[in-house]
Structure 1
Amino acid sequence: MNQPTPLSTQYVIYYRVSTKRQGDSGLGLDAQRAYVEHFYQGCPILAQFTDVQSGKNVLNRPELMKALALCHQQRATLVVAKIDRLSRNTEQALAIYRKLKGRLESCDIPNLDKFTLTLFMAIADRERELIGIRTKGALVEKVKRFGQWRTGSEAFASGQAARLGHTTIKAQAAENHHSRPASAMIKELRQQGYSWSEIARQLNTGGFKTPKGGSYQAVQVQRLYQRIL
């Protein structure tokens, strides 16, 4: 579990959605709020900021600039629901981490430090490239098959899907927040040639926990890796 720093610490929450449509409907934003509410309930929160901007350039996000300024003034800790909401660019994320002097927490990365931030940002950076490739390919295929994009369902249009999604995410947060970040690290370390035992040791050192809250063993690492193949 991602452990917030002591209660004497004050927090500034930052949310980001990629499009105006997401900002208006709450899609994406509700999910981020669910994670933050789960992990930071009862914690002293100074302010919350939301940008409706892409993640390409942090300098184009006025609300993030306000959040960083407040953190600097109050020596507060910046909190994001997922690290890719801060940035998908490794260099930009590390620059923010240095600017905050390490006062950065993300619900999807337990015990965030420079090592885990660098690793996860590299993964997010690569995912940004892959999303572009997949989106372009999917659009071409859908146009070939259907002639145009299919319209959204009634539940999507009415906002019911967003509300149901928020409820589901909140209910599953405690279960999934362990496996998802651990899976990303396992995949990355395995590609670098680490053994199952070595990966388990890295996870435990980094503060990662199994879905039941225990420490990782080599066999659990291997099973989790096989699930994400």
Structure 2
Amino acid sequence: MQETKYVTYIRVSTKKQGESGLGLQSQQTYLDHFYTGKNVIAEFTENVSGKDISNRPKLQQALALCKKEKAVLVVAKIDRLSRNTEQALWIYSELDGRLESCDIPNLDKFTLTLFMAIADRERELISLRTANALAEKTKRLGEWRKASTPFINKTANSLAVAVNKKKARANENNKRAAALIQLHRQQNKSWKDIALELNNAGFRASRGGAFQAVQVQRIYNRLINA
């Protein structure tokens, strides 16, 4: 029987690096405790906001490697993967359920949905507390800072979510293609061979056509110069 392969992923937020229980070292400690001695084939670490998974290149590389090697993606805490239910379930589906988190034993689709729903609810409550705090400060000090209409009528969060979803759909194909390009280039494949890999995997260039070697090279150059 073939030994299970694992890929670990750690994310720290640029604004919350020191947050208790979410720092890089804390996550690494969890992973070391539960996965030392197991067949971990790659480790990815990212310092970026968790709002939009399409803007996390290391995560995209980790997903591409998991799909290629039929490996299990492992995180220390599920909210380091995402705090959005739809995004987390999309990742779970993309990996055919090959997702594990140290804080959720025996993770399946039901428990993932439950934990993510709780995280979604907490994010909503934080937004309400922030809005109420601003309103109270305005009462005490007068017009401290004029809020926009969406913020006042509490539609700002839903508008932001809609914009992020639209952006994610537009960028998702390019982000995943870029991650695969970087992964194949690290394996010393030629631009022509990488273009063939992308086309065989169903990816399409920005205008809908097949990838050519020159397009692959251009995307890779943008990645390393970013």
Shorter-chain TM-score tier = 0.5 to 0.7
Q: Which residue of 1 is the match for residue 66 of structure 2?
A: 71
- Cα distance between partner residues in 1 of 2:95 and 2:58: 16
- Which residue of 19, 34, 43 corresponds with 1:39? 34
Q: CA deviation at 1:7?
A: 8.5
Question: TM-score, normalised on structure 1?
Answer: 0.53
Provide closer, same or farther for how the CA distance between residues 109 and 7 of structure 1 changes in structure 2, counting only shifts above 3 A.
farther
- Computing the radius of gyration from Cα coordinates, the structure with the larger value is 2
Unpaired stretches in structure 2, ≥5 consecutive residues: 141-226
Q: Which residue of 2 is the match for residue 127 of structure 1?
A: 122
- Kindly indicate whether residue 85 of structure 2 is the aligned counterpart of residue 90 of structure 1: yes
Amino acid at match of 1:110: P
Question: TM-score, normalised on structure 2?
Answer: 0.54
Amino acid at match of 2:33: H
Q: CA deviation at 1:134?
A: 4.8
- Kindly indicate whether residue 50 of structure 2 is the aligned counterpart of residue 55 of structure 1: yes
- Cα distance between partner residues in 1 of 2:25 and 2:127: 24
- Cα distance between partner residues in 2 of 1:17 and 1:135: 23
- Cα distance between partner residues in 2 of 1:7 and 1:85: 29
1 or 2 for the larger relative contact order (CA 8 Å, sep ≥6)?
A: 1
- Which residue of 10, 19, 30 corresponds with 1:15? 10
Q: CA deviation at 1:97?
A: 0.3
Superposed CA RMSD in Å reads 2.8
How do residues 78-227 of structure 1 correspond to structure 2 at under 5 angstroms? 78-134=73-129
- Cα distance between partner residues in 1 of 2:24 and 2:135: 29
- Cα distance between partner residues in 2 of 1:35 and 1:138: 35
Unpaired stretches in structure 1, ≥5 consecutive residues: 1-5, 145-229
Q: CA deviation at 1:21?
A: 7.2
- Cα distance between partner residues in 2 of 1:53 and 1:132: 21
Percent identity over paired residues:
68
Q: Which residue of 1 is the match for residue 157 of structure 2?
A: none
- Cα distance between partner residues in 2 of 1:46 and 1:91: 27
Amino acid at match of 1:31: S
- Cα distance between partner residues in 1 of 2:100 and 2:83: 16
Amino acid at match of 1:127: E
Kept after mapping to 2: 8 A contact 1:20/1:52:
no
- Cα distance between partner residues in 1 of 2:11 and 2:132: 26
SS class of match (2:17): helix
Cα deviation 1:27-74 (Å, max 9, x = unaligned): 711111111111111111111111211111100100000000000110
Kept after mapping to 2: 8 A contact 1:13/1:47:
yes
Q: Which residue of 2 is the match for residue 205 of structure 1?
A: none
Q: CA deviation at 1:87?
A: 0.5
Provide closer, same or farther for how the CA distance between residues 111 and 136 of structure 1 changes in structure 2, counting only shifts above 3 A.
same
SS class of match (1:78): strand
Cα deviation 1:180-215 (Å, max 9, x = unaligned): xxxxxxxxxxxxxxxxxxxxxxxxxxxxxxxxxxxx
Provide closer, same or farther for how the CA distance between residues 139 and 8 of structure 1 changes in structure 2, counting only shifts above 3 A.
farther
Q: CA deviation at 1:102?
A: 0.4
